[in-house]
Amino acid sequence: MARTNGTLPGNRRHFLDLGVLSTGEIRKILDGARRIKARRKAPLASDKVLAGKSIAMIFEQPSMRTRMSFDIGIRELGGESVMVTGKEIELGERESIADTARVLSRYVDGIMIRILNHAQLIELAENATVPVLNGLTKTSHPCQVMADVLTFEEHRGDIAGRTVSWVGDSNNVLRSWVEASAKLDFTIKVATPEELAPPADLVNWAKTHKADLRLMRDPHEAVEGSDCVLADAWVSMGDKDGKRRHNLLKPYQVNERLMKVAGPQAIFMHCLPAKRGEEVTDEVLDGPQSVVFDEAENRLHAQKSILAWAYGESFA
Ligand code: CP
Ligand code: NVA
């Protein structure tokens, strides 16, 4: 969604969206994630790429995985983190986002932020002189999808030429998946109710970037023969029309019947937290095709590699 990844002095970079990265950069981050994961218990001295660095983490919205995995990841790379909620600093209220960016850049070496308004993420990045990392906006969730691709490839090999299927609401996680599909050359089939279909700007982005994005209404059609079935909560952070969404999305539950249509080759992924019994049943989430806890673990490894990349480092 970010039009550019911004510019920073030196070899440092923001991590805002997958759509503005090159295929080579995404591949480099994924390779680094695999390496740093494999040697987690016995890291090399050179893996401490954040030694002497501190990262501010700002959460305007709740989080468990993002907060914990970034905090642990930063420590494992030799850095320090300091966390505040948007409420504590009255983010965007006591002063402009731009001024927060300028001041924080004098204190810390990087800023990881979860903020609903994507334009405010961009404003922060444009005014920071240290790397800014997108920890979820209402528009995208690129850290999540890096972990998701890592997980897919661990279970099913190279994602290029494969098919993943999204069932349910079109949200932030889906947008990052669509951007990944263009960069990594796989097909994405998306089944949503008409009222919750992907917005025109995402569909146009997909066209311009030659993504193989296929939109449909029928979840069966979307998952048949797929390599991966993806679901997410029906009501995302910031959504105010929960009741309407539940009514519209009832036919989009991922259950055993739908996984049968997909076939045994399909894995099931969900970024979590899941509302069991709504978008996915216990049988699927806890079933043999589900890799959701590998996916949650991989947030840690993927983000360590993203952090290294943001400072021009890599795990060789
Ligand atoms: N998947 C994810 O981002 O989880 P949290 O909201 O708990 O960080
Ligand atoms: N789509 C969800 C993802 C949560 C990690 C949300 O935005 O709430």
Q: How far apart are the first and last CA of the chain?
A: 30
CB-CB contact of 66 with 299 (8 Å): yes
Q: Which ligand is nearest to the CA of 299?
A: 1
Taking only the tens place, the pLDDT of each residue in 207-257 is 999 999 999 999 999 999 999 999 999 999 999 999 999 999 999 999 999
Q: Which ligand is nearest to the CA of 175?
A: 2
Question: In the structure, what pLDDT confidence band is assigned to residue 7 with cuts at 50, 70 and 90?
Answer: confident
Q: What is the DSSP letter of 171?
A: -
Burial of 92 (0-12, 13-18, 19+ CB in 10 A): middle
Question: Parallel, antiparallel, or unpaired: how do β-strands 212-216 and 228-231 relate?
Answer: unpaired
Instruction: Give pLDDT, residue 3.
Output: 67
| Residue 204 confidence (pLDDT) above 70 | yes
Pick the atom of ligand 2 nearest to 171's CA: 1
Radius of gyration for the alpha carbons in the chain, expressed in angstroms and rounded: 19
For range 261-280, the mean pLDDT: 98
- CB count, 10 Å around CB of 108? 19
Ligand 2 close to Cβ of residue 237 (< 6 A): yes
Question: In the structure, what pLDDT confidence band is assigned to residue 4 with cuts at 50, 70 and 90?
Answer: low
Question: In the structure, what pLDDT confidence band is assigned to residue 80 with cuts at 50, 70 and 90?
Answer: very high
Q: Tell me the pLDDT of the chain averaged across its residues.
A: 97
CA–CA dist 310, 25 (Å, integer): 11
Ligand 1 close to Cβ of residue 140 (< 6 A): no
CB-CB contact of 205 with 268 (8 Å): no
Q: Which of 228, 232, 245, 253 is catalytic?
A: 232
Taking only the tens place, the pLDDT of each residue in 246-259 is 999 999 999 999 99
Taking only the tens place, the pLDDT of each residue in 144-174 is 999 999 999 999 999 999 999 999 999 999 9
| Residue 6 confidence (pLDDT) above 90 | no
Query: Which residue has the least CA distance to atom 6 on ligand 2?
Result: 236
CA–CA dist 58, 300 (Å, integer): 17
pTM score: 0.98
Ligand 2 close to Cβ of residue 171 (< 6 A): yes
Instruction: Give pLDDT, residue 10.
Output: 86
Annotated catalytic residue 144: yes
CB-CB contact of 6 with 125 (8 Å): yes
Ligand 2 center to 47 CA (angstroms): 31
Cis-peptide, bond into residue 264, ω within 30° of zero: no
Taking only the tens place, the pLDDT of each residue in 284-296 is 999 999 999 999 9
CB-CB contact of 183 with 21 (8 Å): yes
Ligand 1 close to Cβ of residue 136 (< 6 A): yes
Question: In the structure, what pLDDT confidence band is assigned to residue 9 with cuts at 50, 70 and 90?
Answer: confident
**Helix, strand or coil, per DSSP, at residue 61:** coil
